[in-house]
Structure 1
Amino acid sequence: MSLPSLGTVLVASALLLVLRFVFRKQSPLSRLPLPPGPSPLPVVGNIKDVPTSHEWITYAEWAKTYGDVMHISVLGKSLVLLSSLEAARDLLDKKSAVTSDRPRFTMISDLMGWDWAVQFMGMGPRFRRSRKALHQLLHPQAARDFYGAIRKGTRSLLRDILHDPAHFDHHLRHHSGGMMMSILYGEDEGPVRDQYVVKAEEAVSGLVEAGNVGKFLVDFIPLLKYVPEWMPGAGFQTQARIWRQMARDMIEIPYKNLQAAYDRGIAPPSVTTQLINQELQQSRDGSKDTEFIMGITGVLYVGGADTALSALITFMLAMVLNPEKQKRAQAEIDAVVGHDRLPDFDDRSALPYMEHIFSEVLRWYPGVPLGVPHRCMEDIEYKGYRIPEGATILVNQWAILHDEQHYDNPFDFNPDRFVPQEGASAPLDPREASFGYGRRICPGRHFADDLLWLMLVNILAAFDISKPVNADGKVVEPSGTFISGLVTALNRSCAGLRRGMQTSPAFWSLLNDDVLY
């Protein structure tokens, strides 16, 4: 946790607590107890208990003692931690009218300048406008409009892996981001798109780090945002300033380039072009809301590229550690698709085991293990406890997807758990816990599902995935260690790829063909 000077913390904490006490409103539910949790200390609460790394694992351990609804406080702020699907649905779906707000992310929104991102917006007109635009772009039927770009990007990914398999992890990152840049700005592969991807990766890396609730004390003491950058302990201000510029570069540079092309009448078809047209059509004076357009495209990049990359790397690790599952999926693909073409969306219904592998990838290590926090807008009662107004609500998606009530041996990668069994109920579909709840459910979930499925099935159709080998020819055991952050992923290469010997020369000629689909 980034700590300012002790005096600053104590003064700010005392002032904050006094103000809250003075202006506190009494609720009819105020006599109800708060949910259980670790015992807080006076004034500072559970500040020493809040983990700053891999929080979902700590919270899952706490749930074994305190139950699936827990409460902790930090400097007078309440955090409610949910560790079961039942609690998440009860509080965030059924009571979405009062639990769909977002807490104010002081570090992310105020200091880093991500207030344009709908993921972090509070309820209100801006949020509703943004959600409406995203739904129009990403509802299931509209998502099909992106199939061509997904096919082309997937083919390009396979070609790069074929020619340089040793750096497959770089190719996965490059193409997951590049594919989104092509969809958002119509920019084909090349140095300009590469520049966009680099800028976006820099910005998102800062967001992922700052997204850890508990990472920065300013999120619990908003008054600290006024501490000058030169003060001892105010290093978070310097970091926020750097990350803020990265975020602006990510959304401004591609937009300005496309706008210049639009003004000359040569803008390629893209999401941004579509949004500019819509803004101009709806405007009475020919103006447009540039911040709105940049915000929507920035949101789509963050929601598409980084989470997709996390799932891709998890898939690679799973295939390395479970070669028999890999071979079974490849045999299914060969039987349905053959050796002379690549799998396509129309093949999906005929590849059930591939579908089970995809579901298990989403379950085994979810890319956003704690989701994005909600904020409770008024006191509510739940199972005899009070969920206090203003509380930040976190859903431990990782805990839900490793709950033995839903899955036997949940830490094992086992796609067979999704194979239908006569007389047995189907296990929980991981998508029900992975894409959010209530009015905050991810609007891009259908697009993400399509994009990931095509990339996974094509990688398996084209390559054998095995453990990496070092310069001495010795097999390197993958660590399986995931980085901590709002979005998590493996922290280093976990696999080696080689050309699949079962495929025909005609198959490989497809990847070297300039005509992509």
Structure 2
Amino acid sequence: MASSWASKLSLPSSETALLSSPGTTILLCALAFALVYLSRLRTGRVRQQLPPGPPALPLLGNLHQLPMAYQEHTLAEWGKHYGDVVYARIIEKPILVLNRAQIARELLEKRGAKYSGRPHSAFILDIVQWVQLVSMPYTERWRRHRRWFQTALQARNILNAYEPLQHIEVRRLLNDILREPDDVIIHLRRYVAALMLGIAYGHSPSSMDDEYIKMVADALHLVIEAGAVSSMLVDFIPFLKYLPAWAPGMGFKRRGLQARSLIRDMERIPLERVKSKMAAGTARPSVATALLEEATRSGTLDEAEEREIASVLGIMYGAGTDTTSTVLSTFILLMVLHPDVLRKAQMEVDSVIGDIRLPDINDRASLPYLDAVLKETYRWLAPVPLGVPHELTEPDEYNGFAMPEGSMVFTNLWAMLRDEEHYLNPDVFDPERFFGLSEDQAEDTDPRRIVFGFGRRICPGRFLADSSIFLAAANIIAVFDIRPARTADGKETLPQPSFIAGAVRHPKPFLCNVQPRSDKIVDLLMTAATAEM
């Protein structure tokens, strides 16, 4: 679910306007050089009945009105003032903001052929040269990568085949927490990373110091670090990419070129090691081995095909870990803040499963309250507040308004998940809101129909991510009590429910006290771990 594109308007910095950034000088110079070019683009433009939106400045459009952080709040306010579809401009790029899920489904799902493009990122595609499923345009190449993802992450028989790995890794997670309870968030990240590395490459990391994990973390950190204001500007003023990397204000290009090398290693090295293990007969079954074997059988395995396979595997891990781990981290935070919810969920687990075994994936249908807790965690968090932008690939019309071809379409997931028509008191964490609904209401309000995106660009790994989140949450509350941390004088201190602004909402670091619920449950955990050795 985390992507470089979403970061284009979700930047971890202060809440000042975009024009107050160090990129101001570059922007003003670029605008001066671009004046004639942009004026030519505007010449002859037919006036259309566009959706309402905030007044724009010449050339800049609405750039000056977007804050550096928490843009979803600003876009939600625009929606309240101008309507459910808001039109804006950044430089010459038309922007459509959708603040209600019903409209997103109408446009991105029912009219998916028009709304499944991706805006071209000069930074990601031209400077970093990271071409992968998330940023690819809607082409036959994208469809091929998507088919590979769907085969690997959506077929029921394949998902069932991953369950043994999920159970092994969740037992390892529980033992890690038992051994080092203060590092519960780190252990959650390792759990998610181990699942994706195991599925993609057959690799099982024992800690966050694992070479593969560090390789990916270094590459993605550099991309995100470079993906600040200046890199956003190059997406809207593409000729900036031709300026030399040594020029003042072009630090984003220098870091982007460094990231290019790291991204290539991130994709190439793990696949080469899988190939070596296959040759030695020691490779574990994985998506990598399946794709390589398929290409070998069909006679298509050449250097170009290997690059395609490497791209699919790299984004499978890179995009799948950040959002899943932040949902689990937020679940822990919410259990600290809402002990009554934790206690009720634990009572449900105890009554259904007892103390003779640990929860497994098949228990979910018997744990409706825990399922509601996880739905409310998705809703309250909105892990990727603005989703990943789509692009309108041909002109369209909605409710009498012209929807211009080439528009960047933002789905404000944060606003959708706080729509008071569907969620009363939306800022309150309340799992009970999902009970007593009709079948249609339950479907319409299920946050999982929103947080994973819409239409043909919906997250292909959503079923695996959701089942892995459930399995971890069920086992953690079965084995552990989660309480506020205590000060030196023994007083409990509640953490603040605050988040780091960015493409993905990460809870700010917090402390908690995680302890096993009983000696018996520890014995059960030890027995389960021994049986799997």
Q: Using structure 1 for the length normalisation, give the TM-score.
A: 0.92
Which of residues 30, 33, 54 in structure 1 aligns to 2:49?
A: 33
Could you say if the C-alpha distance between residues 175 and 408 of structure 1 is closer, same or farther in structure 2, counting changes exceeding 3 Å?
Answer: same
Q: Distance in 1 between matches of 2:370 and 2:305?
A: 43
The residue aligned with 2:3 is: none
Superposed, 1:341-420 pairs within 5 Å as 341-420=357-436
The residue aligned with 2:18 is: none
Q: Distance in 2 between matches of 1:405 and 1:7?
A: 43
The residue aligned with 1:98 is: 114
- Partner of 1:513: helix, strand, or coil? helix
- Deviation (angstroms), 1:15: 4.6
The residue aligned with 1:135 is: 150
The residue aligned with 1:480 is: 497
The residue aligned with 2:42 is: 21
1:453-510 CA-to-partner distances (Å, cap 9, x unmatched) read 1111111111111122355644333122211222221121353311113844532323
Matched-pair contact (CA < 8 Å) for 2:480–2:515: yes
The residue aligned with 1:145 is: 161
Q: Distance in 2 between matches of 1:213 and 1:404?
A: 33
1:317 aligns with 2:333: yes
> Partner letter of residue 5 of structure 1?
I
> Partner letter of residue 116 of structure 2?
S
- Deviation (angstroms), 1:71: 1.3
1:2-40 CA-to-partner distances (Å, cap 9, x unmatched) read 515355322343254145236x7x7xxx54322222211
Matched-pair contact (CA < 8 Å) for 1:161–1:171: yes
- Deviation (angstroms), 1:305: 1.0
> Partner letter of residue 466 of structure 2?
D
Q: Distance in 1 between matches of 2:294 and 2:303?
A: 11
1:463 aligns with 2:480: yes
Q: Distance in 1 between matches of 2:526 and 2:40?
A: 70
Which of residues 482, 502, 506 in structure 1 aligns to 2:523?
A: 506
Deviates more, 1:455-464 or 1:136-145: 136-145
Matched-pair contact (CA < 8 Å) for 1:209–1:486: no
The residue aligned with 1:123 is: 138
Deviates more, 1:256-265 or 1:65-74: 256-265
- Partner of 2:492: helix, strand, or coil? coil
The residue aligned with 1:67 is: 83
- Partner of 1:358: helix, strand, or coil? helix
The residue aligned with 1:10 is: 31
- Deviation (angstroms), 1:292: 1.1
Deviates more, 1:255-264 or 1:466-475: 466-475
The residue aligned with 1:431 is: 448
Deviates more, 1:197-206 or 1:91-100: 197-206
The residue aligned with 1:490 is: 507
1:278 aligns with 2:273: no
Q: Distance in 2 between matches of 1:111 and 1:423?
A: 48
Deviates more, 1:496-505 or 1:434-443: 496-505
- Deviation (angstroms), 1:134: 1.0
1:320-370 CA-to-partner distances (Å, cap 9, x unmatched) read 111101000101101111112110112111111111111111111121111
**RMSD after superposition:** 2.4
Could you say if the C-alpha distance between residues 211 and 140 of structure 1 is closer, same or farther in structure 2, counting changes exceeding 3 Å?
Answer: farther
Superposed, 1:105-120 pairs within 5 Å as 105-115=121-131, 117-120=132-135
Matched-pair contact (CA < 8 Å) for 1:464–1:499: yes
- Deviation (angstroms), 1:515: 1.7
1:421-478 CA-to-partner distances (Å, cap 9, x unmatched) read 5899436111111112121112111111111111111111111111223556443331
Matched-pair contact (CA < 8 Å) for 1:203–1:246: yes
- Deviation (angstroms), 1:207: 4.8
Matched-pair contact (CA < 8 Å) for 1:211–1:486: no
1:389-423 CA-to-partner distances (Å, cap 9, x unmatched) read 11100000110011101111111111111123589
Q: Distance in 1 between matches of 2:406 and 2:177?
A: 48
Could you say if the C-alpha distance between residues 184 and 168 of structure 1 is closer, same or farther in structure 2, counting changes exceeding 3 Å?
Answer: same
Q: Distance in 1 between matches of 2:486 and 2:506?
A: 21
Deviates more, 1:468-477 or 1:257-266: 468-477
- Partner of 2:199: helix, strand, or coil? helix
Which of residues 186, 194, 198 in structure 1 aligns to 2:214?
A: 198
> Partner letter of residue 41 of structure 2?
R
Stretches of structure 2 lacking an aligned partner (at least 5 in a row): 1-20
- Deviation (angstroms), 1:67: 1.4
- Deviation (angstroms), 1:233: 1.2
Q: Distance in 2 between matches of 1:15 and 1:494?
A: 55
Superposed, 1:162-201 pairs within 5 Å as 162-190=178-206, 194-201=210-217
The residue aligned with 1:268 is: 284
Q: Distance in 2 between matches of 1:285 and 1:139?
A: 24
Matched-pair contact (CA < 8 Å) for 1:111–1:241: yes
The residue aligned with 2:464 is: 447
Q: Using structure 2 for the length normalisation, give the TM-score.
A: 0.90
Q: Distance in 2 between matches of 1:144 and 1:442?
A: 19
Could you say if the C-alpha distance between residues 178 and 19 of structure 1 is closer, same or farther in structure 2, counting changes exceeding 3 Å?
Answer: farther
> Partner letter of residue 70 of structure 1?
V
> Partner letter of residue 367 of structure 1?
P
> Partner letter of residue 456 of structure 1?
A
Superposed, 1:84-95 pairs within 5 Å as 84-95=100-111
1:48 aligns with 2:64: yes
Q: Distance in 1 between matches of 2:199 and 2:439?
A: 44
Superposed, 1:181-260 pairs within 5 Å as 181-190=197-206, 194-207=210-223, 216-260=232-276
Stretches of structure 1 lacking an aligned partner (at least 5 in a row): none
Deviates more, 1:329-338 or 1:174-183: 174-183
Q: Distance in 2 between matches of 1:461 and 1:329?
A: 9
The residue aligned with 2:10 is: none
> Partner letter of residue 135 of structure 1?
Q
Could you say if the C-alpha distance between residues 510 and 12 of structure 1 is closer, same or farther in structure 2, counting changes exceeding 3 Å?
Answer: farther
Q: Distance in 1 between matches of 2:383 and 2:394?
A: 30
- Deviation (angstroms), 1:192: 10
1:136-176 CA-to-partner distances (Å, cap 9, x unmatched) read 11224122221111111111111000000011111111221
Could you say if the C-alpha distance between residues 423 and 229 of structure 1 is closer, same or farther in structure 2, counting changes exceeding 3 Å?
Answer: closer
Matched-pair contact (CA < 8 Å) for 2:190–2:208: no
Deviates more, 1:399-408 or 1:56-65: 56-65
The residue aligned with 2:11 is: none
Q: Distance in 1 between matches of 2:307 and 2:208?
A: 22
Percent of paired sites with the same residue:
36
Matched-pair contact (CA < 8 Å) for 1:108–1:210: no
